[in-house]
Chains A and B, each alone.
Chain A
Amino acid sequence: MKRAFSLALLLAVACGGDRRETPAGAGAPSGSSNKAITIKGSDTMVILGQRFAEEYMKNNPGVVIHVNGGGSGTGIAALINGTVDLAQSSRPMKDGEKADVEKKRNAQLNETPVALDALAVFVNESNKVHALTLDQLAQIYTGKITNWTQVGGADAQIVLYGRENSSGTYEYFKEHVLAKADFAPRTQTLQGTAAVINAVSRDVNGIGYGGIAYAQGVRPIGVKKDAGSPAVEPTEANVANGTYPVARYLYFYWISTASPQLQQFVQWATSPDGQKMVENVGYFPLPEKTRTSTQ
């Protein structure tokens, strides 16, 4: 028995040794003495943040960036509590939250839009419905319209998919589409926009909403301001010129006492290089005027 035990111990030590020899194989900076930049917040933006971090670390060896999701509210709460350096948010911060940050952290708060996002409404690719008015959307998501025939589709029950109540996407949709009314209880809340898309892509009667970057395998539909106006597709041009009614900025929030590394990173994110990543991920780059106004 003793032998077996020492064998196990040996194995553990061997594994440990092995590990220490190969951190270079991880293709990642390890053991850097710099304090890491921690990013947390919006699930809509976590993939953007991850790509930013990946690209930025490739070009700036020595800088280490952690990225975490959890929802815009989580990121903002963490910024207030001082557990992150940078909060990603898919909604603008509320005044109360801004005051909280400045009071608790005793520093000025900076808001930097980094990308433009259209909150697209998705249906399954086989769905006949191609456009909905804002009012129809609100009625669908509050549970007043329950069948696709009521909006010109096939005779089938509408299956609602949405986001967890901590997400900025949830709050944005609630505020701008539902006019602050509650979501129907039948809305299935999923952990990420990708999960919503995945569900709608498998569900012929499904409808979901989320950031445009994720739209793969589903069809974003046109949105009309009201019954008389034309349907607007969530394209870059329509979002940039303001005709698409459910579009928003995605933000970085950070405090002015942050490290120079963080400030450089934020600057890079809004630079042409960073904006290329925005397009890569599938969001829309900032219009020229916003880009300059934030610098």
Chain B
Amino acid sequence: MTSVDLDTTLTRRIASRSRRRFGEIVWVELLGLSIVLILAILGVIVADVVIHGAGHVTWTFISESPRQGLTEGGIYPAIIGTTFLVLLMTAAAVPLGVATAVYLHEYTPPERPKQAWKRFRAAEGPDRRKLFGTVLLSLLAKVTRSAVANLAGVPSIVFGLFGLGFFIQFVGRAMDAATQPAGQILWGQGNLLWAALTLALLTLPTVIVATEEALRTVPPELRAASIALGATRWETIRRIVLPGALPGILTGAILAISRGAGEVAPLLFTGAAYYLPFLPEALSSQFMHLGYHVLILSTQSPDVEATKPVLYGTVFVLLVLTFLLNLTGVLIRARTRSKLRAGG
């Protein structure tokens, strides 16, 4: 009797367990479905753009100016405007961002402010003053780090406000007052330089965070060994730290650049133009921009149906540009990862 009892409970338990298993499979499938959904969204957007846009991207489209009220011709000035802007932005953001990260990681004390404070409290004699400096620097590093991390999430439109308020209204106006005849305005308006600097500030936090992360992957023992062998701090950074962190820095920089290349909101008040028949000639020129062109074509075009091919073509080019940048970053990272795995 008991054995039968046991048997039935066991089968019941096993049955319920397999039912549970079945329920679980459904749940896992559901989780998987969310991935499928995300991929489908990406697929639909890309397919829509490719189907309607790819056919319109011809050599004429790439190499000519817009004509007939933007419904014909190409987007050459917008492509070049975007390229100039991105190059300038990169030239400003990457060196400054990398240098800042190196400063934060290699030159400020590695300990947290609390620990430094404790050491300062415990210390006696002439060391005290030096330790106080350490406390201050480590506090500065901490504040900067958290400011940088948070700045990465500040909306791009706020950077646009800053670009207008600082670069154009403050710096630009001051430059005009100093260099231009009275009433003439050259720098006190939106242009390539101000737009690029605004975007550079926008991407700066991303570059700093990525670079610091990359610097962290270089083992401290290597630095110690280098110093012990008599190398100076700069020699250590140049020959040991930077080469080791380079792939990480490159990936971060490229991803930051790709984000900057697609941003439009900060350009609204800092120099993007509706229509320019030619290329920007100087830093003080306005410029056309692919993303801004998409905005204009989809909200301000005179004839929506006639504009559609040009619009889709522009979106296609913009997507290809940002995807290529992204892909480069991802590939560099994947390569270094597999190398690390093979090596380690």
Residues of A within 8 A of B295 (CB): 191
- Given A190-B299, A216-B303, check contact A26 B286 (CB 8 Å): no
The minimal Cβ–Cβ distance linking B218 to chain A, given in whole angstroms, is 14
A25: CB under 8 A from chain B?
yes
Stretch at the interface among A46-54, A133-141, A219-227, A285-293: A46-54
Is there an interface contact between B65 and A28, defined as CB atoms closer than 8 Å? yes
CB of B53 within 8 Å of the partner chain:
no
- Whole-angstrom distance between the alpha carbons of A195 and B152 in the complex? 33
- Docked Cα-Cα span, A263 to B242, in Å, equals 58
Partner of A68, one of B80, B281, B286, B302: B286
Question: Of residues 49 to 68 in A, which have CB atoms within 8 Å of B's CB atoms?
Answer: 50-51, 53-54, 57, 64-68
Contact A23 B185 (CB under 8 A): no
Q: Are B246 and A28 in contact (CB under 8 A)?
A: no
Can you list, as one digit per residue, whether each of A1-37 has a CB less than 8 Å from chain B (1) or not (0)?
A: 1001100000010010001001101111111100000
Are A47's CB and B69's CB within 8 A?
A: yes
Cα(A27)–Cα(B332), bound, Å: 38
> In the complex the two chains form, is A27's CB within 8 Å of B64's CB?
yes
Chain A residues positioned under 8 Å from B332 (CB to CB): 4
Task: Decide if A83 touches B188 in the complex (CB within 8 Å).
Answer: yes
B277 touches A29 (CB 8 A): yes
Total cross-chain contacts (CB, 8 A): 116
- Expressed in whole angstroms, the minimum distance between the Cβ of A243 and any Cβ of chain B is 26
**How many angstroms from the CA of A50 to the CA of B273 in the assembled complex?**
12
Min C-beta distance of B32 to chain A, whole Å: 36
- A residues within 8 A CB of B70? 47, 50
Residue A99 is within 8 A (CB to CB) of chain B in the complex: no
Asked whether A281 is an interface residue with its Cβ less than 8 Å from the other chain, the reply is yes
Residues of A within 8 A of B11 (CB): none
> Is B126 interfacial (CB-CB < 8 Å)?
no
- Known contacts A31-B281, A82-B185; A54 and B67 CB within 8 A of each other: yes
Chain B contact patch, size range: 35 or more
Binary A-proximity of B128-153 (CB < 8 A = 1, otherwise 0): 00000000000000000000000000
Q: Which residue of A lies closest to B336 (CB)?
A: A1
Shortest Cβ gap from A103 to chain B (Å): 11
A51 engages B69 (CB within 8 Å) = yes
How many Å lie between the Cα of A15 and that of B62 in the bound state? Answer: 14
Interface size class of A (residues with CB under 8 A): 35 or more
Tell me, yes or no, whether A104 is within 8 Å of chain B by CB.
Answer: yes
A209 to chain B, nearest CB (A): 16
CB contact under 8 A between A30 and B279, given known A51-B69, A83-B189, A281-B69: yes
Q: Across the interface, do A19 and B80 meet the contact criterion of CB distance under 8 Å?
A: yes
* Cα A27 to Cα B76 with chains together (Å): 10
- Give chain B residues whose Cβ lies under 8 Å from the Cβ of A50: 69-70, 274-275
CB distance from B200 to the nearest CB of A (A): 17
Contact of A28 among B77, B300, B305 (CB under 8 A): B77
- The reply to whether the CB of B170 lies closer than 8 angstroms to some CB of chain A is no
Which chain B residues lie closer than 8 Å to A68 at the CB level? 273-275, 286
Q: How far is the CA of A88 from the CA of B273 in the complex (A)?
A: 15
A23 to B278, CA, bound (A): 9
Residues of A contacting B184 in the complex (Cβ-Cβ under 8 angstroms):
82
A71 shortest CB reach to chain B, Å: 11
Q: Is the CB of B303 within 8 A of A46?
A: no
Give the contacts of B269-299 with A (CB-CB under 8 A). Answer: 273-279, 281, 286, 295-296, 299
Given A1-B243, A83-B185, verify A192-B300 contact (CB < 8 Å): yes
Beta-carbon nearest neighbor of A67 in chain B: B275
Q: Is the CB of B188 within 8 A of A43?
A: no
- Apart from A1-B247, A64-B278, A83-B189, what are 8 other A-B pairs with CB-CB below 8 Å? A47-B69, A51-B68, A67-B273, A68-B273, A104-B183, A192-B300, A192-B301, A281-B69
A-B contact pairs, 25 of them (CB 8 A): A1-B246, A5-B246, A5-B250, A23-B278, A26-B76, A26-B77, A28-B65, A28-B277, A28-B278, A29-B278, A30-B278, A31-B281, A46-B275, A53-B277, A64-B278, A69-B274, A70-B274, A81-B185, A81-B188, A81-B189, A82-B184, A83-B188, A83-B189, A194-B304, A216-B304
